[in-house]
Every structure is written in structure tokens, then in C-alpha cells.
Amino acid sequence: MKKAILYNVIGVLAVLAIIIFKISMIWVILGVLALFIFIIFNPFRLSVEEIPKGFAEKKFNTGKVILNYIEGPDNGPPLLFIPGQTEFWQGYKLVIPYFEKKYHVFVVDVRGHGKSTHTPGEYSYNIIGEDFKEFLKNVVRKPAIVSGLSSGAILSLWLAANAPEHVSAAISEDPPLFSSMYPRIKEEKYMYHIFKTMIDTLEPERDIKNYFLLQGIPHPKGRKELLLIPSWIANFITGLFYLNKKFRPKKQYDVPMAPYSGRAGFKFLSEYDVDFSKATIDGRLTEGFDPEETLKKIKCPVLLIQAKCTRDENWGIIGALEDEDVQKILPIVKNLKHVHVDSFHDVHLSKPKIFIKVVNDYLESLNK
């Protein structure tokens, strides 16, 4: 009798446990499903393609190329952002909501990028600088604060030197002012590898998975070969993007759960003109451009932002601007402020809060 009662109690408890387990699993499944739906349809999620509120996307014909750009409301002095190589105007979406409150913000796609004209065979700092000179003269029409990243950072200095009447201040965000110059770039094995990998994997077909498979960092144990991204990670990342592109063509880069910088980066690699990278390593980009002579001509205030940079015995510079190069710049440009930040190369995209603070503090100091 006691055994029968015990068995009945155990049976009842087992049934209750099963019911509770099933109910719990249902709630878990519903919770995961709700989270997935929220991630995909979240109205507050920043979309790669969407134009920021209050901005308009426009075109400007320089007479030689069409420049695509976005323009915000006229809330103050003009502030022109120039993206770096492979980057489009979307790279600044994390910082322009702050700056558009105080400034009249413009972000322009450099020729060969985004919806601006692609001009294979015609990429150099002097050629592109003239594009922006025309843009400042005919679109902005007032002396502007010019801020650029990487190759765009070099262009901000080019404009300060060669279009002084159109530039009130220049912000140069981690410029590879000496490291990417030809022929030195051939000696900087890591930097050269990055550009060569783009050329080898993104043309004629965009084999982005193979591009990721060839990316890596110098080996921490000093070996000559790079420590590459594991193949399963490269397959997983590219698989997600290709799957999303197939099922959500209108938001093909907005992969659920991927950070904005990664989603935007996938768009940049998919759509820029690879000849820009060819011009970087074969010398066309820097042809006729003298960094030191350019710096000597600058009279306006300059903010030089230096990101993380090291040097590897096997691979050379890991970054864009090292201390030795900064020491070449400081004595030449008289009205210059140098700030070192704990960030990767693309400060405004990888560490937007740091970028906003550094730039805001600098611009406010100019008004005192």
C-alpha cells in the first residue's frame, strides 16, 4: 500500500515536472522568437542604408565627376567630413547626430566610393583634392571645418594647404601621412598585405569570404606568418550576410545582431572601386604629393588625432601613424594640437564617443 502511494506521488511529481518543463520550454522558445523579431524589426536600430533624419542625399557635378553627399540642417558653421579609403558617408552615422546640432554637416563620398563616380586610373590626392576644392567653393560656399579619416585625413591637410580660403580648421584623423607614401608602403608589409588582399579577392568578383580568410594579425610569438581569422568565423560571418541579402534585399547589410561598424564595413567592401587600392600600392595615389611641402603651407588650426600604432619586426607598422612620424609633423605645423587616443584606426566608427569628445573639445577651444 505504502509503495503504491509512493509510486503515485512520484508519478504525479513526474507529470508536474514534465508540464512545468514543457511550459518553461514554450516560454523560452517564445522569448527567443520575440527577441529575434525585435532585433530584425527594432524601430530604433540604426540601418546602414537609411538617410539620417533631417539630412538629404544630394549630387554635385564638379565638371569631371559626380560627387554624392549628404547634407544636414544649417545649425552653425559648416563641417565637412571626408571618409577614408573604402568608407562611404554611412561611416559617419554614429557621430553626425551630435554634430548636426551645432554645425552644418556635409559628408561626401570620395570618387570611387559609394554613389560618387568611379574613375579607374584617375585616383590621386591631387586629383581628389581638386574635387573637394570645387565642392567647398560651389556647395559649402563658406570657410569650413574639414575633418577626414586616413586618406581623407590626408585630404583634409591637402585642402588646408591648397584651398586655405575655404578651410577654417582641419581635423586629421589618424593620417598615414608617411607610412602609405610610395615607395615606403612597399616596405610596410602589413599595410601592403591589407591592400594587396583587397585587390586579389575583391576583383573581378567580390570574394569577401576569401578576403576574411586572408586577414589576420602578426603572430604574438613572433612567427613570420600572420595569425589568421579561423575559417569557421569567416564562413559564419559571410554566411550571415549572404543569407540576409537573399531574404532581405532592401536591408541587405542590416544583419541581425551584427554591430553597425561590421554591417557598414561589409557594404564598403562590396561596393568601392578596387582600383583605389591599386593606386595606393603602385604609387598613383601619392604621385605629385609631397607631405612635408603640404604641411609647410598650412596656416589654419589643425587637430591631429593619432590612434593605436605599433611596429612588428616582421610586418612593419601596425596602424597608420607612429610616433616617429608625428615628430616630423609637429615642428612644421605651427598651430597644431596633437591628441593620442586609445582606439583603432577608424576612431569615429569604432569609438564614436571618444571621437565626439576629442573633436568637440578642440572646436570649443577655438571659440574661446
CATH number of the domain to which 125 belongs = 3.40.50.1820
Name the 3-class secondary structure at 176.
coil
User: Is there a contact between 272 and 136 (Cβ–Cβ < 8 Å)?
Assistant: no
Is the residue at 32 inside a domain? Answer: no
Res. 1: pLDDT tops 50: no
Cα Rg of the chain (Å, integer): 25
Would strands 104-108 and 66-71 be described as parallel, antiparallel, or unpaired? antiparallel
Does the pLDDT of residue 155 top 70, yes or no? yes
Q: The C-alpha cell of 181 is what?
A: 607614401
In this structure, is residue 260 part of a structural domain?
Answer: no
Q: Is residue 235 part of a domain?
A: no
Question: For residue 264, is it within any domain?
Answer: no
pLDDT, tens only, 163-201: 999 999 999 999 999 999 999 999 999 999 999 999 999
pLDDT tens figures, 31-67: 545 445 444 444 447 999 999 999 999 999 999 999 9
When pLDDT is averaged across residues 152-158 and rounded to a whole number, the result is 98
Could you list the residue range(s) of the whole structural domain that residue 310 is in?
Answer: 56-186+276-366
Q: Is the pLDDT of residue 12 over 80?
A: no
The answer as to whether 29 is a domain residue is: no
State the total domains in the chain. 1
Beta strands in the chain (DSSP E): 56-61, 66-71, 78-82, 104-108, 144-149, 167-173, 216-218, 226-228, 302-306, 310-312, 316-318, 336-340
* DSSP codes, 199-235: HHHHSSS--HHHHHHT-EEE-TT--SSEEEPPHHHHH
Is the dihedral angle over the CA atoms 137, 72, 349, 193 positive or is it negative?
Answer: negative
Q: Is residue 203 one of the residues assigned to a domain?
A: no
Residue 216 within any structural domain of the chain = no
Q: Does position 17 have pLDDT exceeding 70, yes or no?
A: no
In a domain, 198, yes or no: no
Q: With contact defined as beta carbons under 8 Å apart, do 147 and 359 qualify? A: yes
Percent of residues, the chain, with pLDDT higher than 70: 88
